[in-house]
Amino acid sequence: MREYGQIAVIAALLALQFAFASVATDPFAFFGPSAVVGADARDRLERGEAVAWTLPAGPRTLALFGAIRIAADGDRLVDWARDIAALKRSAFVLEIGRFSDPPRIEDLDNLTFDADDLRDLGRCRPASCAFQLSDAEIESVQQAVFNRSAPWRLAALHGAFHALVLRRAEEYLAHGRSGPPPPPFLSAHWPPLAAYLEHYPRVAGPEVETYLYWSKERMGGRAVVSVTHVSVARGARPDQPDALIVGRQVCALRYTQGAWAFTAIVSGGPDTAYLAYLNQSEVSALGGFFGGLVRFIVERRVRSEATEVLQGLRRRLESGGPPRPTEPHGGPTMKLPVEIKFRHMRPSEWIDADLRKRAGKLCTYCRRIHSCHVVVEIPHRHHETGNRFHVSLDLVVPGEEIAVTRSANLHASTRQLSARAWAKAYEVEGMQKDIRVVIRDTFDVARRRLQEYERRRRGQIKTHQRAFRAKRQERIAS
């Protein structure tokens, strides 16, 4: 009987050694059977190329695998994973930020929405909406936005969607979420991690680093806002990656649901490592009559984009450690988007340059400006009024819109000029001085309002002080 027991132990050890040997010969065995890397892909990998292809999946599911050879180890990937904004930086990631612990509404200050989002929200109806919202959410968000007057709706949209995204993040941390389980390969090779992720937060898991981040990423021609739960794990067995970054989608406002993303450093033998990536998402657009055509277009696009992203990741990881964060939570430095329009006058390079320079300085007073729109115009029938030049400045900040308009009586010698002659005259030196004054005054008012907005946000202006100022302004206006 003892001999049979010894034989069983020896057989088990041989089987284990065989399994480890197969891992050594196949660095991508961890992802099997979901992804199998064939001979042609291996040859391309050895030449330093990035490879990517779609995987078999359900009718509404899109799955992708990609890999590239890399001169970096798991420590390097983990260091970069702690700075998610730097790790994911690419042309496809428009905005990104890491949540605090616990999440705060201020974490979403750099998340922006635009007029297209406002239009899509206005078209939403129960069971028919461009956004993935419940019927109750559609009603509440539409009321919060469209009960405001038109000039204030975009600012209200930011406030409503920021609150919605924050609420979903908090609900996930408290209760987890239902959705597709992790792919089978994770349960096969790392059961404790798979159980932890599937039943979060009810099941204690292995030693991992976790956090939430939000992102706004380009998918086709539209931007998708989502929240992701990141888990960073280190492998302890030969059949596990040196480092594994798991991203579970908490929510998305458009298109995708229940996405899983796996980024790993796997060993291919002495002095050989690969960066591997697997993504699995449920995509609403893949259903319906045109689902097959949409899948063909989407799969072709994501394959080409995946190789570009892998090449960018390799460059960053091989360049050394991540850069020092420039903002709290590793968020990127946001460049203020400035839109300038000239009406009833031809564009002027020096006016454009002056406006952009002054708009850039506004960021030193408030780093939460979502957008900046400037209109420079000569009003119709200008020869009948002394106000020859108008500047309108519109700033969108979280929960508020700041609008400033200033006009000026310009150089006396131009008051009787025709519209065509006036459009040329503003380039002369005397005119430039008058125009610069009205531009300066416009931005000075905007600066003061931004400073007051920041003080209100920090609670430095008390409620009765704001009420007193509002009444005083009403008296002055009347």
Residues 290-307 have pLDDT tens digits of: 344 444 555 666 777 788
How do residues 464-473 score in pLDDT, each as one tens digit? 454 545 444 4
Class of domain 11-330: alpha beta
Higher per-residue pLDDT: 271 or 164:
164
How do residues 159-178 score in pLDDT, each as one tens digit? 999 999 999 999 999 999 87
Higher per-residue pLDDT: 336 or 239:
239
Would you state the pLDDT for residue 430? Answer: 53
For residue 434, name the pLDDT band (cuts at 50, 70, 90).
Answer: confident
Q: What is the mean pLDDT of residues 5-22?
A: 45
Among residues 93, 109, 94, 164, the alpha carbon closest in space to that of 396 is found at: 109
The residue type at 398:
P
Say what the pTM is: 0.66
**CA 8 → CA 12, 13, 14, 22, 455, distances in Å?**
6, 9, 10, 21, 74
**Cα distance between residue 50 and residue 36, in whole Å:** 15
Going by their DSSP bridges, the two strands 243-252 and 256-267 should be labelled as antiparallel
pLDDT surpasses 90 at 154: no
Q: What is the mean pLDDT of residues 416-435?
A: 56
pLDDT surpasses 70 at 8: no
Question: Burial letters for 187-221: b for 16+ Cβ neighbours within 10 Å, e otherwise?
Answer: bebbeebbbbbbebeeeebeebebbbbbbbbebee
pLDDT surpasses 60 at 288: no
Cα-based torsion angle of the residue sequence 219, 277, 65, 302 in order, rounded to the nearest 10 degrees: 20
How do residues 317-360 score in pLDDT, each as one tens digit? 998 888 765 444 434 444 567 888 888 777 778 888 889 889 88
- 31-40, 69-78, 228-237, 462-471: the lowest-pLDDT one: 462-471
Higher per-residue pLDDT: 437 or 232:
232
pLDDT surpasses 60 at 12: no
Higher per-residue pLDDT: 194 or 413:
194
Instruction: Answer for the pair 197, 231: CB distance below 8 angstroms, yes or no.
Output: yes
Q: What is the mean pLDDT of residues 241-247?
A: 95
pLDDT surpasses 50 at 61: yes
**Cα distance between residue 336 and residue 362, in whole Å:** 9
**Cα distance between residue 357 and residue 337, in whole Å:** 12
Length of the chain: 478
Would you state the pLDDT for residue 412? Answer: 47
CATH 3.30.160.100 fits 338-477, yes or no: yes
Most confident of 206-210, 395-399, 473-477: 206-210
- 90-99, 116-125, 428-437: the lowest-pLDDT one: 428-437
pLDDT surpasses 90 at 457: no
Q: How is the chain split into domains, by residue range?
A: 11-330, 338-477
**CA 424 → CA 13, 304, 356, distances in Å?**
89, 49, 22
Instruction: Answer for the pair 206, 193: CB distance below 8 angstroms, yes or no.
Output: yes
pLDDT surpasses 70 at 10: no
Would you state the pLDDT for residue 380? Answer: 56
Instruction: Answer for the pair 220, 298: CB distance below 8 angstroms, yes or no.
Output: yes
Cβ atoms < 10 Å from Cβ of 222: 13
Would you state the pLDDT for residue 464? Answer: 46
Would you state the pLDDT for residue 143? Answer: 94
Would you state the pLDDT for residue 294? Answer: 44
Would you state the pLDDT for residue 335? Answer: 58
Higher per-residue pLDDT: 177 or 137:
137
